[in-house]
A and B are shown apart, each in its own frame.
Chain A
């Protein structure tokens, strides 16, 4: 194993990890304010991928515009799912919310399956993203460089919203104590819907990156990715945006490195995230960057 190959795998791992991170942020934010594992989040990512596909393949939009369509569409879908399925259950036991989330997840999967078929569709990746570039002896497609850059940019944007704007302050306050937030005259429901919108928008970007990397979209593509991203969020410390990014990178790196260096373990690659998850929960139940749940978040 020479250094070039090693670096190559690092780049791949970084790229994959960035995608997990993008999706994990949505999980962590929703969990932070609502204490809900949004099982449908992975499927919203799938919808994002499909919207990007429709934008390019059917509407003939340029790639950037298709991404924008996916972001807006997914954000609306995320907010709608909150409005229809989760908002009526705010005061219900948490188990009801969780079951509803599973219901929404299965609804999205099956609806897409029925209307668009279960066969994977080739994703029309724009040529300039597939171009192979050579940087210091490492060959990689442009997309492998762009994905982490955009992830970093989006992360910065999310952190800016969370820590520098009034909405961000409201979100952090909500994560801290719902009852008091309502007393302060903040409409908690609106803020929660906003969080769903933000998370879903990030998931859409993740979905499109996914579709670019494995150039196809299909209705079930969000299931496994979503679960792994959730595992990543927990590993990093759920409720912490930085933790979600860290967890995503860890899971992504592990997967790539294990497949590269122990090909015989390739069949188990999907299980690593869960093995990590179980180990983390055993030794540090709040995750790597997780802080005490009852005290502070984000």
Chain B
């Protein structure tokens, strides 16, 4: 690649970053509270989707654990942020462990600690988990997410059980969520384009061939898993600080399912696709709220059917898989559209 194309690419990237920053500033100052809240949600899910895509789409390891990692960091952040006085007041089922009451840290430390915590857990998990492949991996990781939820309910000394934690200071705002989303995207893209990224793609395309070529597939998978866990964790922390209250129910399998729809819709393996998928699904699910309400159409009055949205969603997922398996972007990235065609390409 000659330097002219490199410069052009850099220019495109810088333009995108500048536009994103401008958009964050603009929406924070011009949009109403409701819109900003949706944008906050979208930004958090961009972090989650992009990092989930790294392990599921880029590395091709079908894992179903994000709800576990998100839950861990959400709890860590919440425990660190809630003031000791408020905690004393909140624990209703049993008295908390004494050290829980002493925990306190500022927002950045809380986010980082939680992220590192889930990354370390992912590293430990990767030893048993990556002994199996394919479907088994899916079911083992699903089991892990499930065990985390059970722990959140059953260790009320730390998590306050099914009541969850309330009164979390609201730190998340668009500068945090949007900024971290941008960092997550940049980091993930850089990993994908590095030596490790190529190893990950090799694992996805043909693991046996990759092993035969001398790729350390375990290392590639673990790196993807840990990176993904770190950002899923940070996203969870931001979510806790946005919602201001968390409970185990928030982190059931549906959470993972939503992320799965997002990355499948966008195109498994494409970071741009993950972002587009997030905007469509999160925006769409806001828009589709009318499905849950009573519908008045041409004199026909349908009663409110709470949950209709989910039916439409799951049908949507099936239809995408049946008719548009590649999703919107396939495996392509936005920048691929600007690249000059190589010789032989059609």
B310:A110 contact, CB within 8 angstroms: yes
Do A98 and B62 contact each other (CB < 8 Å), given the known contacts A106-B310, A110-B310, A113-B307? yes
Contacts of A223 in B (CB 8 A): 253
Do A107 and B62 contact each other (CB < 8 Å), given the known contacts A281-B132, A282-B131? no
Complex Cα–Cα for A214 and B314 (A): 28
Q: Is A58 engaged at the interface, CB distance under 8 Å to the other chain?
A: no
Partner of B131, one of A267, A277, A281: A281
Could you say which interface size class chain A belongs to? 35 or more
Contacts of B144 in A (CB 8 A): 274, 278
> Residue of A at shortest CB range from B148?
A271
Which residues 103-159 of A sit at the B interface, judged by CB distance below 8 A? 103-107, 110-111, 113-114, 118
What distance in Å separates the Cβ of B135 from its nearest Cβ neighbour in chain A?
Answer: 5
B321:A110 contact, CB within 8 angstroms: no
Contacts of A35 in B (CB 8 A): 135
Contacts of A88 in B (CB 8 A): 322
> Residue of B at shortest CB range from A270?
B150
- Of the listed residues B138, B264, B307, the one surrounded by the most CB atoms of chain A closer than 10 A to its CB is B307
What distance in Å separates the Cβ of A166 from its nearest Cβ neighbour in chain B?
Answer: 29
Contacts of B132 in A (CB 8 A): 281, 285
Partner of B307, one of A36, A110, A270: A110
B268:A85 contact, CB within 8 angstroms: no
Question: What is the interface of chain B mostly: helix, strand, loop, or mixed?
Answer: helix
Which residues 32-85 of A sit at the B interface, judged by CB distance below 8 A? 35-37, 85
> Residue of B at shortest CB range from A88?
B322
Partner of A99, one of B146, B150, B264: B264
Do A271 and B146 contact each other (CB < 8 Å), given the known contacts A106-B310, A107-B311? yes
Q: Is A230 engaged at the interface, CB distance under 8 Å to the other chain?
A: yes
Contacts of B314 in A (CB 8 A): 103-107, 110
Residues 295-315 of chain B: 1 if any A CB is under 8 Å from the residue's CB, otherwise 0?
000000000011110110111
Q: Is B134 engaged at the interface, CB distance under 8 Å to the other chain?
A: yes
Do A281 and B140 contact each other (CB < 8 Å), given the known contacts A99-B260, A267-B150? yes
What distance in Å separates the Cβ of B28 from its nearest Cβ neighbour in chain A?
Answer: 35
Q: Is A203 engaged at the interface, CB distance under 8 Å to the other chain?
A: no
Contacts of B62 in A (CB 8 A): 95, 98
Contacts of B163 in A (CB 8 A): none
> Residue of B at shortest CB range from A274?
B143
A281:B321 contact, CB within 8 angstroms: no
B318:A230 contact, CB within 8 angstroms: no
> Residue of B at shortest CB range from A282?
B128
Do A275 and B138 contact each other (CB < 8 Å), given the known contacts A100-B321, A103-B321, A106-B314? no
B322:A98 contact, CB within 8 angstroms: no
Contacts of B183 in A (CB 8 A): none
Q: Is A268 engaged at the interface, CB distance under 8 Å to the other chain?
A: yes
Could you say which interface size class chain B belongs to? 35 or more
Q: Is B136 engaged at the interface, CB distance under 8 Å to the other chain?
A: yes
Partner of B135, one of A98, A113, A273, A278: A98
Complex Cα–Cα for A281 and B143 (A): 12
Residues 81-102 of chain A: 1 if any B CB is under 8 Å from the residue's CB, otherwise 0?
0000100110010111011101
Do A277 and B322 contact each other (CB < 8 Å), given the known contacts A98-B62, A113-B307? no
Complex Cα–Cα for A285 and B264 (A): 29
A227:B146 contact, CB within 8 angstroms: yes
Contacts of A99 in B (CB 8 A): 260, 264, 317, 321
Contacts of B305 in A (CB 8 A): 114
Q: Is A250 engaged at the interface, CB distance under 8 Å to the other chain?
A: no
Do A275 and B318 contact each other (CB < 8 Å), given the known contacts A95-B268, A106-B257, A114-B305? no
Complex Cα–Cα for A222 and B21 (A): 46
Complex Cα–Cα for A106 and B321 (A): 14
> Residue of A at shortest CB range from B142?
A227
Q: Is B88 engaged at the interface, CB distance under 8 Å to the other chain?
A: no
- Of the listed residues B140, B321, B325, the one surrounded by the most CB atoms of chain A closer than 10 A to its CB is B321
Q: Is B154 engaged at the interface, CB distance under 8 Å to the other chain?
A: yes
Contacts of B313 in A (CB 8 A): 106, 110
Complex Cα–Cα for A159 and B147 (A): 35
What distance in Å separates the Cβ of B97 from its nearest Cβ neighbour in chain A?
Answer: 17
A sample of 26 cross-chain residue pairs with beta-carbon separation below 8 angstroms, ordered by A number, consists of A37-B135, A37-B138, A89-B321, A96-B325, A99-B264, A100-B322, A102-B317, A103-B315, A103-B318, A104-B318, A107-B315, A110-B307, A110-B311, A110-B313, A113-B307, A114-B306, A118-B307, A227-B139, A227-B142, A234-B136, A234-B139, A268-B154, A270-B150, A271-B147, A274-B146, A285-B132
Could you list which residues of chain B lie within 8 angstroms of chain A, going by C-beta atoms?
60, 62, 128, 131-132, 134-136, 138-140, 142-144, 146-147, 150, 153-154, 253, 257, 260, 264, 268, 305-308, 310-311, 313-315, 317-318, 321-322, 325
- A94-B135, A114-B305, A234-B139 known; 7 other A-B pairs, CB under 8 Å? A103-B314, A110-B313, A227-B146, A271-B146, A274-B146, A277-B143, A281-B136
The 9 closest A-B pairs by CB, nearest first: A274-B143, A106-B314, A103-B317, A107-B314, A110-B310, A267-B154, A103-B318, A100-B321, A114-B307
